[in-house]
Structure 1
Amino acid sequence: MRHPPRSVLLAAAGAVALVSSVVVPVVSAQGATPACTVEYAVTGQWDGGFQGSVKVTNNRTALNGWQLTFDFADGQKVTQGWNAKWSQSGTTVTAANETWNGTLGSGASVSAGFLASRSGGNTAPAVFKLNGTTCNVDSEPTTPPPTTPPPSGGTAPALHVSGDKLVDSGGNTRRLLGVNRSGGEFMCVQGYGIWDGPVDDAAIKAIADWRADAVRIPLNEECWLGLSHIKPEYAGANYIAAVKDLVARVEAHGMTPVIELHWNHGQYTGNSAGCSDVHATCQKPMPDMQYSPSFWASVASTFKDDQAAVFDLFNEPYPDRATSSATDAWKCWRDGGTCPGISYEVAGMQDLVDAVRGTGAKNVVMAGGLAYSNDLSQWLTYRPTDPAGNLAAAYHVYNFNSCSNESCWNSTLAPVAAQVPLVAGEIGENTCAHGFVDQVMKWFDDHGLSYLGWTWNTWDCSSGPSLISAYDGTPTAYGMGLRDHLRALNP
């Protein structure tokens, strides 16, 4: 996705009076500052019902959009509410921002209220989460590495390219059908942790329960390489260990890990720039020669003995936005160097393939095209040379992209897919529904191709396509389309 949320700690602006008869206090270690705090209050109570309120405070950078979740323990049911969109599924209550109160500055608060029915006790909720981030607890790290070791003896198949297919060691065709697990590209550089939400065995099993057989894992090169401005607890050896643990958990559930470079170093302020920062805090138009080859040499050395791992060289190239010449853009994509409109020295796809193969790694590598990986029109002409013969094409498609219909897929994707494996590393839509991805999946199914939905994170769908509302695998309306489709393909 071009612009994943800059933070996972979501809250809202606006307020109503908070008059409390029963208040759940914020509990935190001395001197610690939680990422977010929630005060829950029962402001009135009667036989069969009560009135309650929540006050949410954002303790981090300015945010936009929010979703608060908590669970009732005594069968209480929300019947109506205000200052939020209230809903309830089973015991889980969700309060999401209204259109008019979706932004919140650092240190600001919002309050929302509700009416609920009850038939017995009225125990206050114990745990409150904003988009999967637990509030009222110490936030360093927000998502600590799992305390239990990853399962051993992974069952994911070793893969290689055979013609236009991905195949396992027995020659059986394998499609990569699954999800993206965002977080590793932004949490570390923002100083909040390594992952957005849990990545323990239960959380990965929830992905496998959708009958997914692949998980794409976006990474940040500055965090992997441990550059000095990254908090040491989220950098270098600690970051690498966390990635290795997640890869092992994914493989233990029989799923293919797709390790991907998402955010990188290099200052770009030209057309469609995501930020003006030289550091890896947004999507850049191309990898950088200063660090990206080193990143891939290190990643490849780490996983070269694991042929189940697939390498996605760069998330969404867009050198075409920096120059009006398609030829220049494609040459920049393949060869790197000094590229029109890009101020830093670029590492081309050939540089990254060479960095991987220079370690002796023979893992399958994927290379996405121009226009944020949505344009593969000249991919075959400019594809890099791979001495291992394990190169696949990567493609991204959303309902708002230029190449988002069967006519374009037939004219630009089908010729590529006839020669090399084609993997749609990201599919999605910004409609909070699944009508578009249904069309994508049908076309890719008909052509025997791979696709992975963006994204297995509990963000509000208005901030980007989010497959789940909870890390137990509860789907959003959008995610329901992918989940049901994967389960139908792999009953």
Structure 2
Amino acid sequence: MRHPPRSVLAAVAGAAALIGSVTVPVVTASGAAPACSVEYSVTSQWDSGFQGAVRITNNTAAMSGWSLAFDFAGGQKLTQGWNAKWSQSGTTVTAASESYNGSLATGASVSAGFIASWPESNAVPTSFKLNGTSCNTAAEPSPTPEPTDPAEDGPPVLRVSGNKLVDAGGATRRLLGVNRSGGEFMCVQGRGIFDGPVDDASVKAIAGWKANTVRIPLNEECWLGLSTIDPAYAGANYINAVKDLVAKVKAHGMTPVVELHWTHGQYTGNSAGCSDVHASCQKPMPDMQYTPSFWASVANTFKNDRTVVFDLFNEPYPDRATSTTTQAWQCWRDGGSCPGIGYEVAGMQDLVDSVRGTGATNLILAGGIAYSNDLSQWLTYKPADPAGNLAAAWHVYNFNTCANESCWDSTLAPVAAQVPLVAGEIGENTCAHGFVDQVMKWFDDRGLSYLGWTWNTWDCSSGPSLISSYDGTPTAFGTGLRDHLRALNG
């Protein structure tokens, strides 16, 4: 969906349970306060690279622009960064302020993040300079995160085999479950991380419907910890909350699908959801400025756990901005300068490359154009995936253009004949379930996957909401999906 119902967004500002983050503490000399303090953290680490962050605190006179310098001591090489202009010369790394975060008052802090390789070691920098002035810091090396091994009774590692999803033993699997909205909008609105509880009891209630999959929408600015987001709901806090929810979903034997929902980039054209440059609504396409970094970070976080599925972008709609369908599909796959979109677009190929560049081989989903409701040229413009683990995603509601069996037969069936097809969102806005019953039957007859929108206690008459309580009590709309899943899975 493009938006959660606004009439219910003010209801809950749920706090998420967090797990510990790996942070190098600030150690200052005794006596006078240092001119500046720098916290350097390694938020995730893998065989040949890592994601890091710096938090700078200015303890002197206000600055109108800042530049932080430090030296890598283990052969590390900067590959990308955000919330600063990052560069590297020899061993020296520099992070210079952007136009939007250059002002740094006395006592104020600013954060920026980066991804780097470490061919020799990941030694932590020991000295930092802010605008040429030494910051009084010291640091200890951070531990390497342990790979996550799926529990024996947990969800399967999925891979594409022809037009089917199969597990490690070659058995055909279907993704059948729900969406858990909240992670895409609560943080950017400064009201929390998830909408409603994400404790064990609430996740167990999803499993009680006999769901085997939970799709988790995310916000790239919150994940990357950009300065416009409340730090309580951003960066390591946000990442750890998502990791914790993923772990709970897996503990109940369900497959977690992490999905990018809201992104950066100003779009005010046809069907714009907002005029804000920040990730406060659905944009027509992902942005090149932050989205590749987001997916590189997400992939590095979960690459050692191939039970986690990656859904690249919620509902692309470049067709609303471009003048021809061909231009829309070219924009969808290749990105760049797209007609009608004012920011540089990251195409689906860019995002597949970002994920695979980390070494992650997790299953990837890619939705088509027209809010993922049009797959008519998906096979023609299918991104190249060196891992061969790419499936098509599709969304359908009773008010969409392709919402009848004739359209499904003509546009979906050819795609489903060649690659796995997952309906990442199905729903209707009438508090009934007659339409989704038709969708589920069509998908059941072909052994395909589908996920209901959404496991949130909103008013089902203003948007498709499956539940009236997080104990799993269904709405009239949700009753259809619950009873169907229980009939399928016992």
TM-score, structure 2 as length reference: 0.72
CA contact (8 A) 1:7 1:187 kept: no
**SS of aligned partner of 1:143:** coil
Q: Corresponding residue for 1:5? A: 5
**SS of aligned partner of 2:173:** coil
Distance in 1, matches of 2:18 and 2:332, equals 41
Please list, as runs of the form range in 1=range in 2, the aligned pairs for 1:18-417 lying within 5 A after superposition: 130=11, 133=12, 142-146=13-17, 153=151, 155-417=154-416
Moved more, 219-228 or 153-162: 153-162
Distance in 2, matches of 1:334 and 1:415, equals 19
How far the C-alpha of 1:461 sits from its partner, in A, is: 1.2
Q: Corresponding residue for 1:430? A: 429
Q: Corresponding residue for 1:15? A: none
Change (3 A) 1:297 1:148: closer
Distance in 2, matches of 1:446 and 1:228, equals 48
Distance in 1, matches of 2:460 and 2:157, equals 35
**SS of aligned partner of 1:187:** coil
CA contact (8 A) 2:19 2:241 kept: no
CA contact (8 A) 1:151 1:248 kept: no
**SS of aligned partner of 1:266:** coil
CA contact (8 A) 1:7 1:186 kept: no
How far the C-alpha of 1:146 sits from its partner, in A, is: 2.5
Distance in 1, matches of 2:19 and 2:472, equals 21
**SS of aligned partner of 2:344:** coil
Q: Deviations over 1:1-29 (max 9, x none)?
A: 0222357445xxxxxxxxxxxxxxxxxxx
CA contact (8 A) 2:150 2:307 kept: no
**SS of aligned partner of 2:296:** helix
Distance in 2, matches of 1:5 and 1:261, equals 19
Q: Deviations over 1:266-307 (max 9, x none)?
A: 000000000000000000000000000000000000000111
Distance in 2, matches of 1:389 and 1:444, equals 23
* 1:479 lines up with 2:350 in the alignment: no
How far the C-alpha of 1:324 sits from its partner, in A, is: 2.1
CA contact (8 A) 2:18 2:241 kept: no
Change (3 A) 1:306 1:151: closer
Q: Deviations over 1:379-411 (max 9, x none)?
A: 000010000000000000000000011100000
Change (3 A) 1:365 1:249: same
CA contact (8 A) 1:151 1:252 kept: no
CA contact (8 A) 2:373 2:400 kept: yes
**SS of aligned partner of 1:487:** helix
Q: Corresponding residue for 2:23? A: none
Structure 1, unaligned stretches of length 5 or more? Answer: 11-129, 134-141
CA contact (8 A) 2:150 2:305 kept: no
**SS of aligned partner of 1:381:** coil
CA contact (8 A) 2:468 2:474 kept: yes
Q: Corresponding residue for 1:453? A: 452
Change (3 A) 1:319 1:9: closer
Distance in 2, matches of 1:152 and 1:285, equals 35
Q: Deviations over 1:62-94 (max 9, x none)?
A: xxxxxxxxxxxxxxxxxxxxxxxxxxxxxxxxx
Percent of pairs identical after alignment? 81
Distance in 2, matches of 1:312 and 1:147, equals 23
- Aligned pairs, how many? 362
Moved more, 423-432 or 150-159: 150-159
CA contact (8 A) 1:263 1:284 kept: yes
Code of the aligned partner of 1:180: N
Q: Corresponding residue for 1:125? A: none
Distance in 2, matches of 1:152 and 1:387, equals 24
How far the C-alpha of 1:143 sits from its partner, in A, is: 1.5
Distance in 2, matches of 1:257 and 1:213, equals 9
CA contact (8 A) 1:323 1:340 kept: yes
**SS of aligned partner of 1:146:** coil
What root-mean-square deviation, in Å, do the aligned CA atoms of Structure 1 and Structure 2 show? 1.6
